[in-house]
Every structure is written in structure tokens, then in C-alpha cells.
Amino acid sequence: MFKRILLVMVTLTAGLLMMTSPSRAEQAPAMQLAADSPLENTERNVRDKDNTTLTPEDQKETEADIKITADIRQALVKDESLSVNAQNVKIITRNGVVTLRGPVENKAESKKIHEIAKQTLGVLKVDNQLENKAP
């Protein structure tokens, strides 16, 4: 019985050591791939931290602004001609002024999203900061 308990304790200890030991060899390639990835957006995240650009956290909590944002989002999602990126752009509404941010496929999508926002009831102005992937 004592040998069995000892064997279980040794096995558990060895397993714990293996699970908690640093595995730098596995982490290095992943970090290297991330730096070369087109999904790498560190610069964009740094830009958004400096409080000079609006982020979704800047959305006003008034009923009118929330309704404007929701109406624009619904219109974008319903439009099947838009790419997934276009349907998921950031929409920030503050006192009737809508800011659009995020990547879209091309200028045509940017223009279409701008028009949808502009035609939404209650919108006073649209600040189009969408980023075109292609001309």
C-alpha cells in the first residue's frame, strides 16, 4: 500500500514539474510568427491608447446615440454585399456625430458604409476614418 501511494505521489510530482516548467523553445517560433503576421496590429493598438482617437469605449450612453449606433450596425449586417470586416467596423456615436473606424476591403465599401451612416435618422455628421485595404 505504501509503495502504491509513493508511486502515485512521484507520478503526480513529475507531471506537475513537466506542466509548470518553462518551454522557451516552443514559445520563440510563435512570437516570431506573430511579428511577421499581417494580423499584427501593435502600432494600431498603441495609437488607440493615446486618447486622441475614439474607441468604442467613447460611445455615449444616451438613448439617442445608442439607437443610432444600433441602427447603423443593423443596416451593415443586413447588407450581404459588404465584407465581414465592413460589417464589423467600429461605430462610435457621440451627440449625433458618428465616427467609423476599422478596415474595409476598398473605397467602394468605405463610401457605402459612409452613406448608410449618413442616411440614418438622427445622424448630424459622419467622421469616416475607415482604412481601405485596396484602392
- Tens digit of each residue's pLDDT (9 = 90 or more) over 105-131: 999 999 999 999 999 999 999 999 999
Does residue 26 belong to any structural domain of this protein?
no
The span from the CA of 130 to the CA of 135, in Å, is: 12
Does residue 49 belong to any structural domain of this protein?
no
Does residue 21 belong to any structural domain of this protein?
no
Does residue 91 belong to any structural domain of this protein?
yes
82 lies in which domain range?
Answer: 54-132
| Residue 55: C-alpha distances to residues 6, 11, 30 (Å) | 57, 50, 29
Does residue 94 belong to any structural domain of this protein?
yes
Does residue 117 belong to any structural domain of this protein?
yes
Does residue 39 belong to any structural domain of this protein?
no
**Considering the chain, what percentage of its residues have pLDDT values greater than 90?**
52
pLDDT category, 19, cuts 50, 70, 90? low
Q: Kindly report the pTM of this predicted structure.
A: 0.62
What is the domain-level CATH number for residue 102? 3.30.1340
**Overall number of domains in the chain:** 1
pLDDT in tens, 83-97: 999 999 999 999 999
Does residue 116 belong to any structural domain of this protein?
yes
Beta bridge partners of 126: 98
**Considering the chain, what percentage of its residues have pLDDT values greater than 70?**
59
pLDDT category, 58, cuts 50, 70, 90? low
pLDDT higher than 70, residue 48: no
